[in-house]
Amino acid sequence: MTDLKIAIIGAGSPYTPELIEGLARFKDELPVREIALMDVDERRLEIMLGFCRRFAEHLGLKVVFKATTDRREAILGAEFINAQIRVGGNAARVLDEKIPLKYGVIGQETTGAGGFMKALRTIPVMLDIARDVENYSSDAWIINYTNPTGLVAEAVSKYTGAKIAGLCAGGMRPRLRVAKALGVDPEKVRYDYIGLNHMNFAFNFTVDGRPLTQEEFDRAAGAVETVDAELVRKLKLMPSSYMQYYFHTSRKLKDFQQSRHTRGEQVLMLEKEIFEAYSDPQRHTKPEALEKRGGGGYSEVALGVMRAIHNDEDKWMVVNVPNKGALKILPDDAVIETGCLINRSGIKPLAIGEVPPAVWGLICAVKNYEQLAVEAAVKGDKDLALFALMAHPLVRDYDIAKPLLEELLEANKKYLPQFFKNDA
């Protein structure tokens, strides 16, 4: 195909221009003729349509933009459906962050009780999207950036036949950290990668096929700014930055409790500034405030997967996919985040021979939580939801989990019809 259609579901996200920028950079490898922008927020959609047209012209990307609030219209005929939705918006995120703090546990967007609530709101909507993809563009790939991306990928893989790539920029960060610390080309850095989204570790690093020396690894260890460098050196594993919530729980909880604003509140303020900039009819470049928003690297990862599939180009990338025996400590149908070989035939996880003993129990515990959370979200089962919180290492305590769950469910009632089926 030489005239691709790409859909962006949740196009009102401030990150949409990053994807447009990536498509401009790789326009010869991904010859896109149409980009369908879809969002339920008509105001944001209109703003983004205007800015994307100006931005694309500035970048020299000749493409037709169409904006719609009809998801099926956007999906129809698309080869790739980029999903980046946020059910409840950042207002719901703020509740996810604040309510757990009242019970003495961390409230964070994708981890712990906050990430759990995001999963309950998001999974049913993502399943609806996946079913629309099955019905209206059955050969298409869902390129998912909607968090919690690992749980979303597991739900879609188990409950639909849609093809999904669960993405996160974090999987490529070990490569960048090592490259920067050692002054080498990032493309020459390889590693084994074990775990789940936001619960993972890179190890067995090589540069151009040569294993790192201990001294080289120690130099790179300090690049994980959120986890104590001495611990990283002892583990001989490079952890995700999100491991700070597991390895420094008390410290992070205290930080959150003493912070004047949650991250969600900061993002709400930032996004107001970002969208004011996008609304300026004279602006044709990304606003500086976008750099403060975080979450960069979206387009690099998304474009890497799309290019490999479309061009049948063998590419190694970290993706959230069903395990299928790659990681022996977890069930075959469990979605893991790991190194994969990507080409037109699909996304295949690479076998992981070594399972580091210091962290496999933690990985298993969080996967136990994730599988319970997925079932709870699909079935609207409060008991399963309670068991999921009790399985999570950052909650665990029944005396905390029970009242915490009740308050979280009530606060999110309008987004959780599956849990309130018997209400008038």
Do 6 and 23 form a contact (C-beta atoms < 8 A)?
A: yes
What is the Cα–Cα distance from 270 to 292, expressed in whole angstroms? 8
Helix (H) / strand (E) element for 211: namely strand 210-211
Q: What residue has token string 């994307």?
A: 52
Q: Alpha helix locations (H) across 316-359?
A: none
The DSSP line for 55-88 is HHHHHT---EEEEES-HHHHHTT-SEEEE---TT
What is the Cα–Cα distance from 20 to 247, expressed in whole angstroms? 37
Q: Alpha helix locations (H) across 333-381?
A: 360-379
Judged by phi (left if over 0) then psi (alpha if -120 to 50, else beta), residue 114 lies in: alpha
**Strand, helix or coil at 289?**
coil
| Phi, psi (degrees; rounded to nearest 5) at 180 | -70, -40
Do 416 and 121 form a contact (C-beta atoms < 8 A)?
A: yes
What is the CB neighbour count within 10 angstroms for residue 177?
21
Query: Which distant-in-sequence residues (6+ apart) come within 8 Å of 126 by Cβ?
Result: 83, 85, 144, 146, 152, 155, 156
Measured between alpha carbons, how far is residue 97 from residues 90, 102, 109, 424 in Å?
Answer: 10, 10, 7, 29
**Is 242 in the active site?**
yes
Residue 200 CA, distance from chain mean position: 13
Structure tokens at 169: 């920029």
What is the CB neighbour count within 10 angstroms for residue 258?
7
**DSSP-assigned letter for residue 350:** P
Helix (H) / strand (E) element for 24: namely helix 16-25
Of 103, 242, 245, 298, which is the active-site residue? 242
What is the Cα–Cα distance from 90 to 32, expressed in whole angstroms? 31
Q: Which of 374, 320, 370, 364 is nearest to 342 (CA)?
A: 320
| Phi, psi (degrees; rounded to nearest 5) at 3 | -140, 75
Residues designated as active site? 242
